């Protein structure tokens, strides 16, 4: 039986070749037949999950929390030393030089990435800005968010930190970061659905955790920007992270 492994659509495009390499490697090491799903939007991901087409998913922490609590998914692994941070940036020639310079009524571009928005709202607190004080401009990609900031169409843009740092040198030269989060405890998570049996869950978890430092696994981890590899997660680990996400929501 082929199992569908979905990768969240919030990574830089150049990472997707690495995810295909990882999928192939995990198949070989776990003995499981895995089919990689790479949705292009959060809406497409949600639909695939709702339709029961996802057996395992590498999800952002906000989606992971919902899947664990509402759909019975189990968290089995997470990357080591790779927390989900985010950047608030504006155009290089724009007036704001610090987060406190953003004013009520400001325009902010962002993708449909709920954890980035949650963290971003926390970062806006020094400017005394709430969600209602901002004119939000939804875009499909971080590249589009960058273009809007560079052109002055918005006062700032929200980025997943990895996506921001993966932008081209030319693009970043036209942007000015106002702040970058330092949360450390919130990460993407590998989840398995209730359809995933305990033996298969253990096989894919053990294969993933064992990649670090191996001749075939380490280059793939490096390609994904996850050089520290993965560690196994317990239910207690998952609950702790979910509690952190709840704190961001409060």
CATH 3.40.50.300 describes domain 2-83+185-249: no
What Rg do the C-alpha atoms of the chain give, in angstroms? 18
Tokens of 199: 């033996």
At residue 250, the pLDDT reads 65
Give span(s): CATH 3.40.190.10, the chain.
2-83+185-249, 86-180
At residue 222, the pLDDT reads 93
3-state SS class at 53: coil
Closest by CA position to 134, among listed 150, 110, 170, 111: 110
Evaluate whether 89 touches 149 at the Cβ level (below 8 Å).
Answer: yes
If you classify domain 86-180 with CATH, what class do you get? Answer: alpha beta
User: pTM for the whole thing?
Assistant: 0.75
At residue 206, the pLDDT reads 95
At residue 113, the pLDDT reads 81
At residue 106, the pLDDT reads 97
Residues in a beta bridge with 126 = none
List the 175-180 sheet strands across, edge first.
135-138, 107-110, 156-160, 86-91, 175-180
At residue 216, the pLDDT reads 94
Q: Which residues of the chain have pLDDT under 50?
A: none
At residue 235, the pLDDT reads 86
Quick one: how far is CA 196 from the chain centroid? Answer: 23
């Amino acid at each position: 039986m082929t199992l569908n492994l979905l990768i969240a659509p919030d990574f830089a495009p150049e990472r997707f070749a690495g995810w295909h390499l990882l999928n192939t490697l995990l198949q070989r090491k776990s003995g499981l037949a895995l089919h990689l799903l790479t949705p292009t939007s959060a809406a497409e991901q949600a639909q695939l999950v709702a339709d029961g087409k996802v057996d395992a998913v590498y999800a952002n922490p906000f989606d992971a929390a919902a899947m664990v609590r509402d759909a019975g998914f189990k968290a089995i692994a997470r990357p080591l030393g790779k927390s989900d941070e985010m950047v608030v940036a504006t155009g290089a020639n724009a007036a704001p030089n610090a987060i406190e310079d953003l004013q009520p009524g400001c325009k902010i571009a962002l993708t449909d990435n709920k954890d980035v928005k949650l963290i971003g709202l926390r970062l806006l607190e020094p400017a005394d800005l709430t969600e209602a004080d901002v004119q939000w401009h939804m875009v499909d990609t971080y590249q589009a968010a960058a273009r809007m900031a560079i052109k002055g169409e918005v006062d700032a843009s929200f980025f997943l930190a990895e996506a921001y740092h993966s932008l081209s040198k030319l693009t970043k030269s036209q942007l000015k970061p106002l702040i970058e989060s330092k949360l450390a405890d919130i990460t993407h998570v590998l989840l398995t659905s209730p359809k995933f049996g305990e033996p298969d869950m253990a096989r894919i978890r053990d294969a993933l955790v064992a990649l670090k430092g191996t001749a075939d696994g380490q280059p793939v981890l490096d390609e994904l920007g996850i050089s520290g590899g993965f560690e196994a997660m317990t239910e207690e680990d998952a609950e702790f992270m979910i509690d952190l996400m709840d704190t961001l929501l409060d």
